[in-house]
Amino acid sequence: MSSAPPPPSGPQGSPASQALPKSLEPLESLAPRLPSPLSEAADEHFSRHGVRLLLKRDDLIHPDLVGNKWRKLVPNLRAAARAGEHTLLTFGGAYSNHLRATAAAGRLLGLSTIGVVRGEELAGRPLNDSLARCAADGMRLHFVTRADYRRRNDPEWTAALRERFGPFHLIPEGGSNAEAVRGAAELGRELRGAADVVAVACGTGGTLAGLAAGLADGQRAIGFAALRGGFLAGEVERLQQAAFGGRRGAWTVEDRFHCGGFARTTDALESFARGFAARHGLPGLDRVYVAKTLYGLAALAGEGAFPRGTAVAAVVTG
Ligand SMILES: *Cc1c(COP(=O)(O)O)cnc(C)c1O
C-alpha cells in the first residue's frame, strides 16, 4: 500500500474549522435556484382523467450542475472538502450526465476530476459531445474495459486506481451514495403539501430513494426506470438502508416504460415527447429520462391509476 500525503487542512478543532472549507467558498457563489420552481402544466393527457399535473423544475437549479445532479453532488463535494480531498474520481458511461456534472463542478470549484469511463474501445476515438465537454472542463478520462468497469465497487480494484492516480474522493456511478440520497431528500421536502403523487425518472435510483424519504405522510413517489433489468427496487432499498438505516416513505417502481432500455426510444415515446415539449415550451425535454417518466405517467393516468382530483408532480430531473 502506498501512503497518501496528509491532506492540506487547517488546524483541527479551531473555530475556523466550523466555517465552510476554503475550497467550497465558490459553491456558495454558484447561486442555485432553490427551492426549484413548481408550475402547473394543464395537459389533456391528464386533465381528461381528472388528474392535475405539476412540473417540479429541477432542470432550472443550475445551468452546469443540472437537476438531480446538483442535489446529489453538492453533499459529496462538501464531504470531499471536509476530508481535505482536492481530487474527485467517479464512474460513468460515454453519455453520463453525472460525469458531465462532476467535470463542471471541478471547473467551477477548482478541483481535479477523473472520470473512469466504461468502454476501453472509446480510448482511441474522437470524443462524443458529452465526453468532449468533460475533457474541456478539465476532467481526466480513463477508459476501462467493460469487465474492469464491473469491478467499480470492488475495493481491490479501486485501491489499484489509488495507486495509479494518488488520493481522491470516490463518488460511485451516477453519484448515488448515502450523502447523495440524503441530499435528494430535500427534493421531497420541497414538495410537501404540493402533490399527492410524485413521479421521478430513475437510473441508479438514488434520487427516488431520497425523494421518497423527504415526502410527508400521505404522499407517495413512483420511480420510472429508464433502464431495463428489474434491479431498481433492490437498489433503492439498499440506498435507503445506507442513508437512513432502513426503508423510508411510500414508493414504488414502474419497470414498464423504459422503451427498450437506456437511451432507447420508440416512435410512440418520441411523438409523445415532441407533443409535450411543444405544448409546454420545453424544447430541450430530456428524452433519456424525463420524457419516459411523463409518458409512463400519462399511461398510468389513462389506466385509471389515479382517482379523479389527484395532483401529480413530475420531477424534471434534467
Ligand atoms: C442522472 C439522471 C437521472 C437518474 O437519477 P438516479 O438518481 O441515478 O436515479 C434522472 N434524470 C436525469 C435527467 C438524470 O440526468
pLDDT of residue 2: 44
pLDDT band (50, 70, 90) for residue 22:
low
pLDDT at 144 over 80: yes
Counting atoms of ligand 1 from 1, which one is nearest the CA of 209?
7
pLDDT band (50, 70, 90) for residue 25:
low
- Alpha-helical (H) ranges within 49-201 are 68-82, 97-109, 129-136, 146-149, 155-165, 178-190
Ligand 1: list residues with CB < 6 Å: 67-69, 97-98, 174, 176, 201-207, 286, 289-290, 317-318
pLDDT of residue 13: 37
Contacts of 112 (CB under 8 A, 6+ apart): 86, 87, 88, 106, 138, 140
Counting atoms of ligand 1 from 1, which one is nearest the CA of 223?
9
Q: What is the pTM of this model?
A: 0.91
By annotation, the residues acting in catalysis are 96
Instruction: Give the whole-angstrom CA distance, residue 52 versus residue 304.
Output: 13
Q: What spacing in Å lies between the alpha carbon of 294 and ligand 1's midpoint?
A: 14
pLDDT, one tens digit per residue, over 287-314 is: 999 999 999 999 999 999 999 999 999 9
Q: What is the mean pLDDT of residues 189-216?
A: 98
- Mean pLDDT across the chain: 92
pLDDT of residue 280: 97
pLDDT, one tens digit per residue, over 69-92 is: 999 999 999 999 889 999 999 999
Q: What is the mean pLDDT of residues 129-152?
A: 97
Collapsing DSSP states into helix, strand and coil, what is residue 81? helix
pLDDT at 3 over 60: no
pLDDT of residue 24: 63
Q: Which residue ranges form the domains of the chain, and what is each CATH number?
A: 33-65+177-315 (3.40.50.1100), 86-167 (3.40.50.1100)
